[in-house]
Amino acid sequence: MQQEQIEVRKQRGYEIAKTSRIVKTEKLRNCKCKHIWAVEFIVTKQIDQEGNITITQTVRKTYSQDWKNYNLAQQKEKEIFMKLLADITSRINNKTYEFGRPSNNIGDTIYSMVFKVYSTFSGRRFSTDLEIAKDNGFAEQKIPYNSMFRYFQKKELTPLLANMVAITSLPLRSVETKFAIDSTGFGTSNFQRWYSFKHGKEISSRRWVKCHFMTGVKTNTITSVSITSEFDNDSPELKALVNETAENFKMEEVSADKAYLSQDNLELIDSKGSVPFIPFKSNNQANRNGAIWKKMFYYFQLNNEQFLEHFHSRSNAETSVHMIKSKFGDSVRSKKWSAQVNEVLCKVICHNICVVIQEMHELGINPDFSS
């Protein structure tokens, strides 16, 4: 068995040992699996000079939950969400009216788009919620759902929505110093077909939108985001994500999986005063240009367990993905590409505002987006 495969199972066993309960089963296999590694991490044997065996058991680390404030935040979430979203969209400047038919208020239009994604309702069923928002002064006008759908398709709104992702993470600048990078896909209703010479038949698969993001590992707020097709690689997107996050946050650590490993990425993260925790591959060598490559390579080789403790904070990126998809769906309703991109950005904005609401109750965060 290759050393890389053993190391992967060892890492997975380490994660199981930290988070799960081990139960003995009757299944057998011919190699040392991740579950055996987990048991060895949990239970260790020590033999003294006289041959006496002492068994020590590792206590699984657990994390307490402030259920009182969590429940309160969930009960008040929709009400506070409407207020905070209105505070952000009210700052959007409208174009000066010159001639022709007046266009919809852009602030109210963005409000209706994000609020619609938050509700997870169809455009027609969402009309009641938008009417309530207008009656409470959160929007000046009720945007017709057909007009709202047309605005979803506007490419010029994509940079504005991406900027709103960064804005909605700002209240957590004093909390987040460690970050993780990852990507995830959102399914669409579009399909692609091609002929497979390997299988000798036509194959059909669903298209999906790829969301690259950087998240704080403590609160799971998304600090920067980039949307591409499913065919784009992960590594080139790191530069923009790191640069945008560094503008608003003090970064101490950045963790990512092997897909992001490159000398340029390590040097970029290091230039921001942050330590890159990206594991190396089995065929990587230390004799490459760049001090940060050699430094982290020897750290990974000589202090592997300590390195992996930092690296495994990357698992919080998967938590962020679960939070978004379980609450706002793992697919998009829009049919056209620009609308699909904007819909995914709205999902991330909704997630960030919900995170702020949660930390308002648990950490006493001030939801100030003006800065």
d(CA 103, CA 151): 11
User: What pLDDT, on a 0 to 100 scale, did the predictor assign at position 29?
Assistant: 62
Name the 3-class secondary structure at 46.
strand
pLDDT tens profile 298-332: 999 999 999 999 999 999 999 999 999 999 999 99
pLDDT, tens digit only, all 371 positions of the chain: 456 666 666 667 666 666 666 666 666 666 667 666 666 655 665 556 665 656 665 556 666 777 888 888 889 999 999 999 999 999 888 765 455 555 788 999 999 999 999 999 999 999 999 999 999 999 998 999 999 999 999 999 999 999 999 999 999 999 999 999 999 999 998 777 766 777 787 877 778 899 999 999 999 999 999 999 988 999 999 999 999 999 999 999 999 999 999 999 999 999 999 999 999 988 888 877 789 999 999 999 999 999 999 999 999 999 999 999 999 999 999 999 999 999 999 999 999 999 999 999 999 999 988 76
CA–CA distances in Å: residue 200 to residues 38, 44, 192: 43, 53, 17
Residue type, 8: V
Instruction: Please tell me the predicted confidence (pLDDT) of residue 1.
Output: 47
Domain locations along the chain: 3-57, 67-163+339-362, 166-320
Rounded (5°) CA angle 224-272-352: 20
- Exposure letters 228-263 (e unless 16+ CB within 10 A, then b): beeeeebbebbeebbebbbebbebebbbbbeebbee
Q: What is the pLDDT of residue 282?
A: 86
**How many Cα atoms within 13 Å fall on the side-chain side of residue 313?**
26
At 3 the pLDDT is 63
Positions of E strands within the chain: 43-47, 53-57, 178-196, 201-216, 222-229, 253-255, 275-277
Identify the pLDDT of residue 370. Answer: 76
- CATH architecture, range 166-320: 2-Layer Sandwich (3.30)
Give the integer Cα–Cα distance in Å for 133 and 139. Answer: 6
